[in-house]
Structure 1
Amino acid sequence: MGVEFVVDPELDDDLKARIVALWVDVTNGGGAVGFVAPVTGAEVWPTATAAFAGVEAGLDRLLIGLDDGELVALLFVTDNRFGLKDHWRVLKRVMVSPHAQGSGHGAALMRAAERLGRQMGLAALHVTVRGGKGTENFYARVGYREVGRIPGAIRVAPGDDRDDILMWLDLQQ
């Protein structure tokens, strides 16, 4: 059975808790989604609450992937909050459950995000990638191109600075 993608699901307490649990699992599994492992749910909740608020306010969109009811993937499509950038959005917190890595769920999630972007009438989607993990290669395989790099912009630990890689998908092609 394939993954079912749902746009803007009802953000009830159960789903919020499942999102935070996934966020913790992805971070602790080596994912670069705003934290450095090890992380706990208590540490993720404040950032998650802010992300949920953007969705609940109607500014941002949430895209989740369910595999037989289990939350296995998600991302936030965030508004730029600046009128001159209304024609494109930023994908944030792109994550796939560690136990589902290599299953094609990540590529399917990105295709679903692209479909959503096109339905929204957007010109492009943007994602930032933490260097040092090779994740930019995944995004390149699904059609994104590197448009910039800020050297050493992300400090994951003292003496361990990573590039912030800017990736772009033109939806007008």
Structure 2
Amino acid sequence: MIRLDATQLLENAGDLAELLVGTVNGGASVGFLAPLARAQALAWWRERAGDVAAGRLAVWAALDGDRVLGTVGLAFPGKANSRHRAEIVKLMVHPDARGRGLGRGLLTTAENAAAAAGITLLHLDTETGSPAERLYRSAGWTPAGAIPDYAADPRGVLRPTTIYYKHVPATAPTR
């Protein structure tokens, strides 16, 4: 896993876009409707570069040579009373690479980086009943509850979302 700086994110935006398109068009609910066009995915990734450069977002990629097989993000809130927490965002593994432990590896990478940054509480949301729930539960995440009709899945059907949290031991002072 490598952490992408803003320049690397832009250099890999095409591969990241392909990952996002494959994930959404493969049925995973990560905030987009299918069919997702490559141009839309590319624009979305390029827009993230500013947040990465400003330190509001950290992005890691799992690579096989030059090919991006997976990604995860860690979003840091800007409020003074929230500096102890962060959100796991856009954990994606290419459909061709699933079942190899990449999702777990990406999640662990983000958790360890959060702890190193002084983060003590992580949270995320995922579609209720999705395969991702098995990963989060097996990795020690706690469900806080489900919200009905929270977001549309890639087909446009409203689905419930489960909110998860996890306490992590900080290894550095809070940001």
Normalised TM-score (structure 1): 0.87
One-letter code of the match for 1:85? S
Q: How far apart, in 2, do the equivalents of 1:117 and 1:25 lie?
A: 27
Partner of 1:51: 48
Distance change >3 Å, CA 53–CA 75, structure 1 → 2: same
In the alignment, which of 32, 37, 57 is matched to residue 35 of structure 1? 32
Of structures 1 and 2, the one scoring higher in RCO (CA 8 A, sep 6+) is 2
Q: How far has the Cα of 1:47 moved from its partner?
A: 2.8
Q: How far has the Cα of 1:12 moved from its partner?
A: 5.3
1:74 aligns with 2:71: yes
Partner of 1:96: 93
Q: How far has the Cα of 1:20 moved from its partner?
A: 1.1
More displaced stretch, 7-16 vs 86-95:
7-16
1:172 aligns with 2:169: yes
Partner of 1:61: 58
1:87 aligns with 2:84: yes
Gaps of 5+ in 2: 171-175
Contact 2:126 2:163 in 1 (8 A): yes
In the alignment, which of 104, 127, 130 is matched to residue 124 of structure 2? 127
More displaced stretch, 63-72 vs 109-118:
63-72
Contact 1:26 1:97 in 2 (8 A): yes
One-letter code of the match for 1:117? A
1:115 aligns with 2:96: no
Partner of 2:173: none
Q: How far has the Cα of 1:28 moved from its partner?
A: 1.1
Identity of aligned residues (%): 23
Contact 1:145 1:167 in 2 (8 A): yes
Contact 1:87 1:124 in 2 (8 A): yes
One-letter code of the match for 1:93? K
One-letter code of the match for 1:94? L
One-letter code of the match for 2:95? P
Q: How far apart, in 2, do the equivalents of 1:48 and 1:7 lie?
A: 15
Q: How far apart, in 2, do the equivalents of 1:164 and 1:82 lie?
A: 25
Partner of 1:7: 3
CA deviation profile, 1:62-105 (whole Å, cap 9, x unmatched): 11111233211111111112221110101111101110000111
The 4+ residue runs of structure 1 with deviation greater than 6 A are: none
CA deviation profile, 1:33-81 (whole Å, cap 9, x unmatched): 2112211112223432332221122221111111233211111111112
Give the RMSD, CA atoms, in angstroms.
1.9
Gaps of 5+ in 1: none
Distance change >3 Å, CA 34–CA 62, structure 1 → 2: same
